[in-house]
Amino acid sequence: MRGKTRAMAAAAFASLALVATACGGGGTAPQTGQSAGSTGGEITIRGCTPKVALIPGNTSETCGGNVIDAMTSKLVHYDPETAAPTNDIAESIETSDNQSFTVKLKKGYKFQDGTEVKAKNFVDAWNYTAYGPNGQAGSYFYAPFEGFGDVQCLDPDCKGKPKVKEMTGLKVVDDYTFTIKTTEPVSNLPVRLGYSAFSPLPDSFFKDPKAFEDKPIGAGPYKLDSKSTTEMVLSKFADYSGAFKPSVDKVTFRIYADTNAAYADVVANNLDFTDQIPPDQLVGEAYKSDLPDRNAVKESGRLTWITFSPNDPQLKDNVALRKAISRAIDRKLIADKIFNGTVVPATGWVSPVVDGYKEGACGDSCTFDAAAAKKAFDAAGGYKGTLTMTYNADGAGNKEYSEAVCNSIKNALGIKCVAQATVDFATFQKKIDDNTMKGIFRSGWQMDYPSIENFLTPIYAKGADSNWSKYNSPTFAKLLTQAAAAKTPDEANSLYQQAEAQLGKDFPTAPLWYPSTVVGWSDNVTDVKVTAFGTLDLVSIKKK
């Protein structure tokens, strides 16, 4: 009670003071900064420790990625609702053959060190990221560019330096124009250019990359004020001239080691946003009573599936068997019981959030039917021995759903199925790389850029990094090439859909579900929007 009285007295005094200044107005000098009415206020959101220094081309994880996204502007900006790309720094990106692109920049975009964003800032940054010896994690994004091979290391240990430092596919035309040339047609290249690995870098970066690591600079709506082991503080960049102006003045990414602690702080209104709800709060939707009207479930560009190991002789050449196993999985039941409805059963190999998505590519094989599955299973010759489903135990929920999938297969087909854990993702990945994975194993993908192509090429193109099923189909490859060369987006989408349909025939993997992002926020903020990437849209959020 005492605290309350004192607060009321303070409030009364403050309002008196306000009245007094209002009455005395006119004579006083204008206040510096913004007036109380239009100030955007400060918010705190859950952050985590970046795995590497905050360099756009080297960051491939969300802890650093979220901060970089707030700090940088790219050629293209993705709509928070639909993920559709619109031009940001780019005035226009033009091509006639999907292979030579001319990029024109808007004038007046400034980096946070005061210099203007020019064509060479893009070309230099991209060459730096692609150059092998710089060891940037995002270098593979430049693989389609002409001359990419020449800037790569000659041997796996990177002992020999590449002959050249720059890709031939990038040319500065004038201050605000540059050209991109790719080795093969890439119809969706403009869509890709919104990814943070394609950010421009200021000249100061190349003079002293080490200093840049301590104080990263971008051309985005926020600039980094400070970073420490407990928080990363961003404030509005006064000279930001782009179209995506945020409302909030100051954003603090507070670092949490544990999602439970962040969740507890959101419930107590000490933290304004978390993009991770602890699994035990999802059970029975407990979070909805803790956070009434302050939670949301948003479909995000992700997909979970099982890969049929290319090293399993029984599965390798038996499409009918793979389809039968897929049909024996009760996706809807698992989505309801294990995930409490935070995942949507998949009907194909592409997430519904991207342009070009078409429902039902998987057909009957993704619809649970125990009797039909058993019949098809027997007709296909069955599976001898125990089927193992391998998962990495360090991923939240992997154990539960892997066991559920196995149970479903066991019950429907009457075979032995065991969910088998590896200690962590590293061990898991190593088993895939060493070709020692047996049976089936879980796989997941989070899109890099919102395009149907991003769900197909990196995972199913011959020899692609993430082609864990070792899928190799000439028809599929031909369709990808044709789609990449397509003249219009519609034509490209239709060809990509045909490629996806080919996956439905060959069935290298069985799609499971599209995971959503569940978020919660405090009473202090409104207009919370979650992007298709599952991150907070800092442009929309407002302080109450």
Partner 1 sequence: MGKYVVRRILQMIPVLLGSTFLIYVMVFALGDPTIGRCGERPCPAAYIAKFKADYNLDKPVIVQYVLYMGQVLKGNLGTNFFGNAVSEELAVRWPTTAKLAVIAITFEIVIGIIAGVLAGIRKGKFVDTLVTVSTLFVISIPVFVIGSVLQLLLGIRLGMFPVTATQGTLNQLILPGFVLGSLSVAYVARLTRTNLVENLRADYVRTAKAKGLTRARTVSVHTLRNSLIPVITFIGADFGALLGGAIVTERIFNVNGVGGFLFRSIQQKDGVSVVGTVVCLVLVYLVMNLIVDLLYGVLDPRISHD
Q: How many CB atoms are located within 10 Å of the residue 99 CB?
A: 20
Find the shortest distance in angstroms from Cβ 132 to partner 1. 4
Given the complex with partner 1, which of 404 and 432 has the nearer CB atom?
432
Given the complex with partner 1, which of 141 and 368 has the nearer CB atom?
141
Give the residue among 466, 474, 437 at the shortest CA–CA distance from 315.
Answer: 437
> Which range binds partner 1 by CB under 8 A, 5-13, 97-105, 153-161, 174-182?
153-161
Find the shortest distance in angstroms from Cβ 60 to partner 1. 5
Distance CA 270, CA 45 (A): 10
Distance CA 262, CA 260 (A): 5
Give the residue among 233, 362, 243 at the shortest CA–CA distance from 306.
Answer: 362
Given the complex with partner 1, which of 162 and 489 has the nearer CB atom?
162
Site for partner 1 in 86-145 (CB under 8 A): 132-137, 139-140
Q: How many helices (H) and strands (E) does the chain have?
A: 18, 20
Find the shortest distance in angstroms from Cβ 422 to partner 1. 11
Distance CA 446, CA 433 (A): 20
Give the residue among 126, 98, 95 at the shortest CA–CA distance from 184.
Answer: 98
Is the Cβ–Cβ distance between 448 and 188 less than 8 Å?
A: no
Candidates 115, 152, 420, 494: give the one binding partner 1 (CB under 8 A). 152
Given the complex with partner 1, which of 173 and 426 has the nearer CB atom?
426
Candidates 420, 458, 470, 491: give the one binding partner 1 (CB under 8 A). 458
Quote the tokens at residue 13.
């005094």
Site for partner 1 in 221-280 (CB under 8 A): 228-231, 254-258, 260-262, 264-265, 267-268, 270
- Which residues does residue 514 pair with via DSSP β-bridges, in sequence order? 344
Residue 529 identity? K
Find the shortest distance in angstroms from Cβ 289 to partner 1. 13
Distance CA 542, CA 247 (A): 6
Q: How do the residues of the chain divide into helix, strand and coil, expressed in percent and rounded to 5?
A: 35, 20, 45
Binding status of residue 524 toward partner 1 by CB under 8 A: no
Query: In terms of DSSP bridges, do strands 509-521 and 273-274 run parallel, antiparallel, or are they unpaired?
Result: antiparallel
Find the shortest distance in angstroms from Cβ 301 to partner 1. 13
Candidates 25, 27, 38, 157: give the one binding partner 1 (CB under 8 A). 157
x/- map, 459-498, partner 1, by CB under 8 A: ------xx--------------------------------
Given the complex with partner 1, which of 242 and 511 has the nearer CB atom?
511
* Tokens 């850029």, residue located: 449
Given the complex with partner 1, which of 51 and 410 has the nearer CB atom?
51
Find the shortest distance in angstroms from Cβ 268 to partner 1. 4
Find the shortest distance in angstroms from Cβ 64 to partner 1. 9
Site for partner 1 in 398-457 (CB under 8 A): 424-427, 429-430, 433, 443-446
Find the shortest distance in angstroms from Cβ 24 to partner 1. 38
Find the shortest distance in angstroms from Cβ 182 to partner 1. 19
Q: What angle do CA 179, 185, 190 make, to 5 degrees?
A: 55
DSSP state of 181: E
CA distance to 73, 200, 229, 529, per residue, from 236 (Å): 13, 19, 21, 19
Give the residue among 419, 414, 418 at the shortest CA–CA distance from 382.
Answer: 414
Residue 290 dihedral angles phi and psi, to the nearest 5°: -75, -35
Quote the tokens at residue 173.
């035309």
Find the shortest distance in angstroms from Cβ 27 to partner 1. 41
Find the shortest distance in angstroms from Cβ 375 to partner 1. 35
Given the complex with partner 1, which of 74 and 431 has the nearer CB atom?
431
Given the complex with partner 1, which of 7 and 17 has the nearer CB atom?
7
> Which range binds partner 1 by CB under 8 A, 150-158, 194-202, 312-320, 335-343?
150-158
DSSP, residue by residue, 247-298: S-SEEEEEE-S-HHHHHHHHHTTSSSEES---HHHHGGGTHHHHSTTSEEEE
User: End-to-end CA distance of the chain, in Å?
Assistant: 26
Q: How many CB atoms are located within 10 Å of the residue 332 CB?
A: 13
Given the complex with partner 1, which of 8 and 268 has the nearer CB atom?
268
Find the shortest distance in angstroms from Cβ 258 to partner 1. 4
> Which range binds partner 1 by CB under 8 A, 46-54, 104-112, 336-344, 472-480?
46-54
Given the complex with partner 1, which of 231 and 378 has the nearer CB atom?
231
Task: Return the H-helix or E-strand segment holding 345.
Answer: strand 343-345
State the residues that interact with partner 1 by CB under 8 A.
49-53, 60-61, 132-137, 139-140, 152-153, 156-158, 213, 228-231, 254-258, 260-262, 264-265, 267-268, 270, 394, 424-427, 429-430, 433, 443-446, 458, 465-466
